[in-house]
Amino acid sequence: MDLKFSEEDQAFRIRARDWLADNVPKAHRPLHGEAQGQFDRDWQRKLYEHGWAGINWPKEYGGLGLSEIQQVIWYEECARAEAPNYINATYIGLMHAGPTIIACGTPEQKAQHLQNILSGESLWCQGFSEPNAGSDLASLKTFGAIEGDHLVVNGAKTWTTDGQHADFQELLIRTTPGSERHKGLTWVICDMRAPGVSIQPIRTMMGDEHVNTTFYDDVRIPLNQVVGEVGGGWTTAMSTLAFERGTGFIGDQLLLLRRVNEAIAIANRVRLDDGTLAIEHQDIAGRLALIKAETLAIQAMTWTQISEIQQSGGNPGPKGSIMKLMVTNTSKTLSQLVADMIGWDLMEYDDDRNAHPMTYEYLWGWVYTIAGGTSEIQREIIADHLLGLPRAR
């Protein structure tokens, strides 16, 4: 694998760096209320108006059609410029729903949704997980009965990130009575303003309100909003998750490296109970060195994986689970180390119960073990599809 960047890639990096330096918002994303969604819409609109929207989308659908290498360069420069976190109310539309509609949708669905996703005009959320069907997605129960030219949906979804801001939802439901597991599922576009859709916020331990439970009470969805085939939702959903485990996960890896460097800076200014700097303690210095080495190894593996994807024209498949698991484990280990250095001062909240920035990062390290597929599920995928190990009984 040749890790040298072409002249075109180097020119792209300079252009991206210069634009981000002039346009990254000075204010941070609000923690609560409609201001969150508006902040995300405004940032996406700016990206769209300046020709930076849909970096991984094909040009024929309004995207930039960048190579995988240039996509990584873009994420690197966003992390360097501390641009708004790519995981916000625009993420599902850009990295899930949009690519899924491009791959599996009808011409009418593409015309209705793609440009609005790119411009920030419409925000999306995901309706996959349920109160009793999180990591085991195939056990979902939310049901859509076919009545004429509509599906009538009843049930509930949970962990609906930014659902309170969303205009549409990628919704996975069961449509075949008596079906089990991955059979009889359907991937459908749900209008979040439709009668019968209601949202209940879940305030997290970090003090914010970005996840919700969504309830469906006789929600009528036209059959022309089915993406793929009725009953073929598992195949469509696997396309969706393949996009998430491809370049869509790179931002997490690059943010991790920034957090490691921030932790090293903390170690050089925080004094422990004995009055010495944290970095002067052999145990802490050794743990920091190991975490940074692991983070650089993840970065190298990322470039290897991206090179393989570019050469094969495919997606990472089960190898994406290795990267997810490594980032999750390293993030959790890093968060614990920062907590050990800062001590009880880490657990600070303001008068509105908003977490201190370092508290937020510490708690988010635990969230990583669940979000995007639990660590247990990632290990199962690696064991089954890469190592060929027998299933546990």
Q: Could you read off the pLDDT of 55-88 as tens digits, one per residue?
A: 888 999 999 988 878 888 888 888 888 888 766 7
For residue 372, the model assigns a pLDDT of 66
Beta strands in the chain (DSSP E): 124-127, 143-147, 150-158, 168-174, 185-191, 197-202, 211-222
Residue-wise pLDDT tens digits, 34-46: 888 899 999 999 9
**Is 27's pLDDT higher than 80?**
yes
Mean pLDDT of the region 22-40? 86
For residue 2, the model assigns a pLDDT of 54
**Of 68, 170, 244, 361, which one is the catalytic site residue?**
244
The verdict on whether 244 is a catalytic residue reads yes
Mean pLDDT of the region 349-364? 61
Burial of 106 (0-12, 13-18, 19+ CB in 10 A): middle
- Percentage of the chain surpassing pLDDT 90? 38
Residues 6+ apart with CB under 8 A from 227: 100, 101, 104, 105, 106, 109, 170, 187, 188, 189, 236
For residue 190, the model assigns a pLDDT of 97
**Is 51's pLDDT higher than 60?**
yes
Residue-wise pLDDT tens digits, 107-160: 999 999 999 999 999 999 999 988 877 667 778 999 999 999 999 999 999 888
Report d(CA 343, CA 236) in Å as an integer.
Answer: 46
Report d(CA 59, CA 205) in Å as an integer.
Answer: 41
Report d(CA 56, CA 66) in Å as an integer.
Answer: 6
Which amino acid, 34?
Answer: E
- Considering the chain, what is the average pLDDT of its residues? 84
**Is 3's pLDDT higher than 80?**
no
What sign results for the dihedral spanned by CA atoms 138, 376, 312, 96?
positive
The neighbour count for residue 58, using CB atoms within 10 Å, is: 12
Residue-wise pLDDT tens digits, 219-267: 999 999 999 889 888 888 877 666 555 555 566 777 788 888 888 988 9
**Is 10's pLDDT higher than 90?**
yes
Taking CA atoms, 208 is separated from 160, 162, 321, 381, in Å, by 14, 11, 28, 31
**How would residue 196 be classed by pLDDT, with cut points 50, 70 and 90?**
very high
Please give the backbone phi and psi of residue 229, each rounded to the nearest 5 degrees, phi first: -115, 150
Computed on alpha carbons and rounded to an integer, the radius of gyration of the chain in Å comes to 22
For residue 214, the model assigns a pLDDT of 96
Which amino acid, 165?
Answer: H
Which domains are present in the chain?
Answer: 7-119 (1.10.540.10), 124-231 (2.40.110.10), 245-386 (1.20.140.10)
Report d(CA 63, CA 294) in Å as an integer.
Answer: 34
Mean pLDDT of the region 211-217? 93
Mean pLDDT of the region 148-174? 93
Angle (CA) 19 72 66, round 5°: 75
Report d(CA 54, CA 86) in Å as an integer.
Answer: 12
